[in-house]
Amino acid sequence: MCAVNRALALPLIIPMLQTEIAVMRFGLGARPGDLQAAAADPRGWLRAQTQGAVALTGAGPLTPSDQIIAAALAAREERRERKRDSAAPAAAAEANALGNALREVYQPHYHAQVLARAQSAAATTRPFGERLVHFWSNHFAISADKGAIYGLAGALENEAIRPHVNGRFIDLLTAAVTHPAMIVFLDNQLSAGADSAAARLAATRFGAARAAAAPPRGQFGINENLAREILELHTLGVDGGYTQQDVTSFAQIITGWSVGGGGGRLAGGEVGRFYFRDNLHQPGGKTLLGKSYPQYGEAQGLAVLADLATHPSTAHFIATKLVRHFVADDPPAAAVERVTRAYRESGGELPRVYAALIDAPEAWDAQLRKFKTPEDFVFSTLRALEAAPQKSPEVIRSFELLGQRQYTPGSPAGWADTAKSWDGPDALMHRVLWASRVAERFEKGQSALDLAASCLGGFARPETLAALKRAASGSQALALLLMSPEFQRR
C-alpha cells in the first residue's frame, strides 16, 4: 500500500497530541496559531463551536436563492417570447442561441458560492463548525450538474444548513428538504395527487375518456424522488425498516410541496420560495411506518418529518455517518452507540450529539485513520499557507483536477466518505501535480519546516522532517510536506 495511504499509528495516545487531533481531525487543518488556540482545552475549543449559526467567513454577500430563481424565470420567459417572435426558418438557430440563457444566469452565482465556501474554509476561526456544515451539506446532497439548480446548490448550504447546523435535527431536516433547490433537484414540484383538486379539474375539462386516451400535457402523477431520499438518505437509512409502500405513501403526503413563481398549474406563491400548492395535494389520511396521519395539507408532511427525526433508525443512521466521518471508515461500534444514545436521549439536539462524539475515546486515538478527500486536502492546504483564494476559476479548476467538483456529487447520495473512493493511483498522481503547482506558487517566504510545526505539530514524523531538510529547493520541500502521509490524513 502506498505510504501516503497507510493509516499512521503512534504507540500510544500522547496527551500533547490532543490539540493536534482537535484541530486536524475535527477541524479543517491547522492555520498558524490554531494549535496554540486549542492547546489549553482542546475539547472545550471544539464544544464552543457547536453553538449558534455558522456564518460564512471572509466572503462577500451572496445573492439569495429566491432572487436567483426570479432571474432564471425571467430569462426563461424572455427566451420563450423571443422564440415565439422568431421567423420559422430561424427558430432552431434562435433556440440554440438562447439555450444557454439559464446557464448564463446561474453561472456567476455558482462561481460566487464556490469561492465563498473556499474563502470561509481557509479563514474561519470555527473550523469544527465549518466542517459540520460541509458534513450536513453532503448529507443533504444535491448536485449542480442538474441545470435547473446549477446556481442554487450553494444556496441550500448557506440558507438551510448554516443557520441550523447547531440546532435541532428536525429544524435542519425541514429547512433542507423544503429548500427550493432540494424541491427542484428531486422534481417534487411536478408531483401531484391523482385525486387532487387540480387533477379533478383536468378530468372535468378534458373528459375522463379523453384524459385516459391522451392525457393532457403535464399529466398528474406522484413523483417519489424526494420521499425516497428523505427516508433512505436523510433519516432512516436504506436499512431503516421502511417499505416501498411507505415510500409511495410519503410521496402522496408531500404532494403540493413546491416552489412559488411558476406558470400554469405552478402559478402562485412568492417567487423562488417554498410554497405549498393545496390544489396538487393528494387528499385524505395516510399511513406511514404503521402510523396514521389524519392531518390535512402541508401539516401532514411536517408531522411525518417530526416523527422521522426522532425515529431510532434515524438516530443510529446519523450517528454512524458522523463517526465514520470523524473517526474511521469502519465506524467503531462503541462510538456509534454513544452518539446514538445521545441523539435519542436529546431528541436530536445536535450540540448534545456533537458532545457525545467529542467525548468518544475512539475519536482521540492517535492513529490517523481518515484519508483526506480532495476537499479536505485543498482546504487544509489553504489553511496551512494562510492563502484565501481570490478568484473562483482557480478553485473550480483545483477541484475538477482532484475529482471533487464543488456541489457536484452527481447523485443525492453525496460524496463517498471512505478512502477507497479517493486513494487510487490516478487520484494520487493528481494530488502530486496539484501540490507541486501550489508549492511553486507559494514557496517564496515559506519554510517547510516551520509549516510542518504549525500545521502538523507532534504528528510531524522524523522521516518527513528529514526529507524536508534534504529537499533541493523550497518548492520541493513544500510539495513533500503537502504529500507527506501525515498531511494526507486526519
pLDDT at 222 over 80: yes
Ranges 12-21, 43-52, 112-121, 480-489: which has the least confidence:
12-21
Closest of 191, 156, 170 to residue 412, by C-alpha: 156
pLDDT at 378 over 60: yes
For the segment 385-443, what is each residue's pLDDT rounded down to a tens digit? 999 999 999 999 999 999 999 999 999 999 999 999 999 999 999 999 999 999 999 98
Q: Tell me, what's the pLDDT at 209?
A: 47
Find the distance separating the first CA and the last CA of the chain, reported in whole Å: 18
Q: What is the pTM of this model?
A: 0.93
Q: Tell me, what's the pLDDT at 15?
A: 60
Three-state helix/strand/coil letters over 303-336:
HHHHHHHCCHHHHHHHHHHHHHHHCCCCCCHHHH
Q: Tell me, what's the pLDDT at 220?
A: 77
Count of Cβ atoms closer than 10 Å to residue 435 Cβ: 22
The packing angle between helices 312-326 and 333-346, to 10°, is: 130
How many Å apart are CA 109 and CA 107, to the nearest integer? 5
Q: What is the DSSP letter of 137?
A: H
For the segment 146-162, what is each residue's pLDDT rounded down to a tens digit? 999 999 999 999 999 99
**Those residues with Cβ within 8 angstroms of residue 450's Cβ, 6 or more apart along the chain or in another chain:** none
Q: Residue 435 CA to chain centroid, in angstroms?
A: 25
Question: 482542546: which residue's cell?
Answer: 42
Q: Tell me, what's the pLDDT at 86?
A: 66
Alpha helices in 254-311 (DSSP H): 298-309
Ranges 196-210, 268-282, 318-332: which has the least confidence:
196-210
Task: Give the pLDDT band (50/70/90) at residue 6.
Answer: low
User: Helix or strand or coil: residue 202?
Assistant: helix
